[in-house]
Amino acid sequence: MGVHLEPGAVAEVVIDFPPVNAVPAAGWQSIADLLTAAGDDPATRVVVLSARGRGFCAGVDLKEMQRDEGHQALLAANRGCAAAFAAVYDCPVPVIAAVQGFCLGGGIGLAGNADLIVAADDATFGLPEVDRGALGAATHLARLVPPRLMRAMVYTCRTVTAADLHRFGAVHEVATTGGLPAAARAVAESIAAKDPVVIRAAKQALNGIDPVDVKRSYRFEQGFTFELNLSGAGDRARQKFVEGR
């Protein structure tokens, strides 16, 4: 259980927090650290970011936050998410997100910053943040869906399917759930076969021409989460979720 790295030319960082991959604060930092370690290894040519279990990621562990009487868990989760999302983006080699089941909240931050997404046909993507009394990762959702749909998804907390994102060009390939690991691996190996010096230069070049600074815009969003928490709205929404109301 946790996050682990399987090194190699095609390295794999695996998220595993049963039952739903709701990632605790320390887990986000582990994702960041292992992605950084994989990218720093000169033998790595591509990183696949995957998950065990029913879903890719259910976001942050809200129950962990509600057990904390102060604000340390909230602060740690926000810092950890920022670090993990940045590590995907800043990884010097391409990162492929292999997404099955649900990809929610912080999962959107990871997948939205990935260079490519290979998704299972049961994958769904969404930001339930408004229902949780928080904001964040609209920055990353905007890299996956058109602007008006992004706004609708934030306001209504609706989800979209892997097939939807494939039509938009945001998902590179849709596979069966059982075939997802092999499909992601095949795409990764096609990139790993290229000249690694050129691929690493291409990653730098593509990041350099991005129109939005994803790290700065995400931190801007986080400021509103802190405001909602100070107002009490964040705590009320998290408690409602934890109690199943």
pLDDT of residue 207: 98
- Between residues 238 and 156, the one the model is more confident about: 156
32 falls within a domain: yes
Q: Which residues of 205-226 are buried (b: 16+ CB within 10 A; e: fewer)?
A: eeeeeeeeebbeebeebbeebb
Going by pLDDT thresholds of 50, 70 and 90, the confidence category of residue 245 is: low
Whether residue 6 is contained in a domain is answered as yes
Instruction: Report whether 228 contacts 134 (CB < 8 A).
Output: yes
Count how many domains the chain has: 1
Q: Provide the whole-model pTM.
A: 0.96
pLDDT at residue 242 tops 90: no
Mean pLDDT of the chain: 96
The answer to whether the CB of 82 falls within 8 A of the CB of 218 is yes
Domain assignment present for 56: yes
224 assigned to some structural domain = yes
Give 73-121 pLDDT, tens digit per residue.
Answer: 889 999 999 999 999 999 999 999 999 999 999 999 999 999 999 999 9
Q: Which domain holds residue 154?
A: 2-177+196-242
Residue 235 lies in a domain: yes
76 contacts 25 by C-beta, under 8 angstroms = yes
- Report the run of H or E that residue 29 belongs to, with start and end: helix 25-40
- Give the type of residue at 19: P
Q: Do the domain assignments include residue 21?
A: yes
Distance CA 99, CA 161 (A): 11
The CATH number of the domain where 103 resides is what? 3.90.226.10
Asked whether residue 85 is domain-assigned, the answer is yes
Give the helix ranges, DSSP H, for 41-142: 62-67, 72-90, 106-113, 138-141
Reading the block at residue 101, the tokens are 């089941």
Asked if residue 183 belongs to a domain, the reply is no
